[in-house]
Amino acid sequence: MTSKLGETAIVVGAGMGGLSAAAALAGKFASVVILDRDALPDGLGPRMAVGQGAHTHQLLKAGELSLEKLLPGITQEFVAAGAKQMLVGRDVKVFDFGGWMDECDAGFTVTSLSRPAYEGILRRRVAALPGVSIRQETSVRRFVVTDGKATGVELEDGETLAADLCVDATGMTGPLMRQLAEDGHAAFETEDVRINVAYASAKFRQKPEHRGETTGFFFLPGPPGKQFGFLLPIEDDQWILSVGARGEDSPPKTIEQLVEYAKAFDARVHDCIDGAEATSEIRTFRKATATRRKAWEAAKWPQGLIPIGDALSSVNPTYGQGMTVAACTAEALSDMLDKRGASGAGLGGVVAEYLPAAAEIAARAWNLSVNSDYVYSETEGERPANFVMNRAMATTLRKLAVEDIDFRVFRLKLVHMVENANALRDGPLAVRFFTALQGSMAS
């Protein structure tokens, strides 16, 4: 049994990142306190402060595996709540840069739920862990930093709570990181990429002939196409449809326009929702910028402060990586703390150990998403020096995936973050991949 590392850990934010972090900390501290400014729903309902909560979310396989390690049995709890289990490569139909990917059995499934359901189930499970408590409707003004170490938080009402370790899970728009820099306790660079995407979503009651459906559709055309869309089966015999556009184009603003918009994707998608009852209002969301705070390169950063999830890096939500990055990062933190507890090393230096590991996980999502975004002219700014090579590698992998089942499965695993792109350099597919890459660049 891992020894306790301290009396109290405080997690600010009760979203997917904060809940995953609390699961990682539970049992390692006598008390884990989660603070959130919202009034949290009792069940699986939405939260007002989660701007993307009404839109399509996908917990990628790597995120599912991380949550399962932190909270054994959580996947079955998702299924018990109505999640559809989808076989990747067969049940998930993907239109990618001009054509539908050939079907295959990738060897793993993923669950499909609404974001409020994912979060509600996770919140219920985490709240039941020993030593964990959730304080809702509690706003945090700033982290308290003493002699270069985060020692707790100051609440908006002036109360101060002490902690041995603090976690910021308030997302990219939360004020705490900005306040930390303004108070002179941190100095870090921020990288922004203007991706200019907007989307609209609504839920629909499945028609009788589609009840029990496990098929979903991902429509991601290459340029000059600017429209994209997703249709997934979720709990309570519903579909969730999200459609979007890049640049100055606006997504639909009414249910009728949303249904009409879906005609551009595939007749199967339109058939699923045409004439179906809408079970929600239409919601829109705009994501102008992908942003990451380079805390791992910070000239100044407090000991005892852990940023997680979107507080560290926030990318294009089209690719569904946010929840997974948070879960994988929480698993990495848990492993570090387990080793420290077992060895008696304590918390000294844990942030310096954590930040590079979190950066590597976040960078995998960042590179996959931003390199894809840069292909579109609607993404602003100068392309990085390695952009041409990255695109040549992506094009080669896409071509090989059409021709070869091994590369098709690898590509699906790469998207689900269970494989790393480095495997193309030193894994069993490396020789075939680089032979094809050299041939494409020479032609």
Domain annotation covers residue 135: yes
Structural domain including 196 reads: 192-288
Q: Are 220 and 228 in contact (CB under 8 A)?
A: yes
C-alpha to C-alpha distance for 62 and 118, rounded to whole angstroms: 15
With the C-alpha atoms ordered 392, 379, 194, 228, is the resulting torsion angle positive or negative? Answer: negative
Tally the domains of the chain. Answer: 3
Sequence-ordered list of residues with C-beta below 8 angstroms from that of 124, at least 6 positions apart, any chain: none
96 falls within a domain:
no
Beta-carbon count within 10 A of 170 CB: 27
Domain termination site, one of 267, 288, 309: 288
Q: What is the CATH number of the domain that holds 312?
A: 3.50.50.60
User: How would you classify the pairing of strands 190-205 and 283-293?
Assistant: antiparallel
Residue 261 identity (one-letter amino acid): Y
Among the candidates 240, 268, 288, a domain finishes at 288
Task: Indicate whether 265 and 399 sit together in one domain.
Answer: no
Please report which residue ranges of 46-173 form alpha helices under DSSP H: 61-70, 74-80, 115-127
> What are the pLDDT tens digits along the chain (443 aa)?
345 899 999 999 999 999 999 999 999 999 999 999 999 988 777 766 565 677 888 999 999 999 999 999 999 999 999 999 999 999 999 998 888 999 999 999 999 999 999 999 999 999 999 999 999 999 999 999 999 999 999 999 999 999 999 999 999 999 999 999 999 999 999 999 999 999 999 999 999 999 999 999 999 988 998 899 999 999 999 999 999 999 988 889 999 999 999 888 889 999 999 999 999 999 999 999 999 999 999 999 999 999 999 999 999 998 889 999 999 999 999 999 999 999 999 999 999 999 999 999 999 999 999 999 999 999 999 999 999 999 999 999 999 999 999 999 999 999 999 999 989 988 899 999 999 999 877 65
* Separation of alpha carbons 217 and 176, rounded Å: 37
CB within 8 A of 397, min separation 6: which ones?
A: 407, 410, 411, 414, 424, 433
- 40 and 118 fall within a common domain: yes
In the block, tokens 């929840």 appear at 323
DSSP assignment, residue 245?
Answer: E
* Same domain membership, residue 228 and residue 348: no
